[in-house]
């Protein structure tokens, strides 16, 4: 294996790890957003967030989450549609990537003993 190949594999692994972490954060925030719109309270919100995260782990891609939210919003008589859900997903993903990169930069700055937060609160 050449140096180029090793560097390429390391970059690919890093990018996949970043994408996975960002998707988990995105799904957490998306689930909380949807739960609030659906009128869920306290433990129901937490349960719904777990449901959304689990839904994404069942199949590759985000189609399963979109279908779940479209169905849940329709059942609750909510006006949110697929385009709004996808826009929110995209915004949450972008925010998650930025946050993860900021945490990584902070960890690099603070040294090897730094422990970053696992999942921060919802963005404003």
Each residue of 78-121: pLDDT tens digit? 999 999 999 999 999 999 999 988 888 888 888 777 776 665 56
Which two three-digit tokens encode residue 96?
A: 């998650």
Instruction: Answer whether residue 1 shows pLDDT above 90.
Output: no
Those residues with Cβ within 8 angstroms of residue 81's Cβ, 6 or more apart along the chain or in another chain: 70, 73
Q: Which two tokens stand for residue 34?
A: 């949807």
Is 60 exceeded by the pLDDT of residue 65? yes
Strand, helix or coil at 96?
helix
Share of the chain above pLDDT 70, in %: 93
Q: Are 58 and 40 in contact (CB under 8 A)?
A: no
CA–CA distance, 81 with 103 (Å, rounded to integer): 33
> Beta-strand (E) ranges in the chain?
none
42-55 pLDDT, tens digit per residue, is: 999 999 999 999 99
CA 28 to chain centre: 6
User: What pLDDT score was predicted for residue 6?
Assistant: 73
pLDDT score for 106:
85
């Amino acid at each position: 294996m050449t140096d180029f190949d090793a560097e390429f594999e390391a970059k690919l692994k890093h990018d996949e790890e970043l994408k996975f972490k960002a998707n988990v954060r995105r799904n957490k925030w998306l689930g909380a957003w949807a739960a609030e719109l659906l009128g869920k309270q306290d433990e129901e919100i937490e349960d719904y967030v777990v449901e959304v995260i689990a839904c994404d782990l069942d199949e590759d891609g985000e189609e399963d989450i979109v279908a779940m939210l479209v169905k849940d919003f329709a059942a609750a008589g909510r006006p949110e549609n697929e385009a709004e859900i996808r826009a929110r997903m995209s915004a949450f993903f972008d925010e998650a990537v930025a946050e993860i990169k900021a945490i990584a930069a902070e960890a690099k700055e603070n040294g090897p003993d730094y422990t970053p937060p696992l999942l921060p609160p919802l963005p404003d």
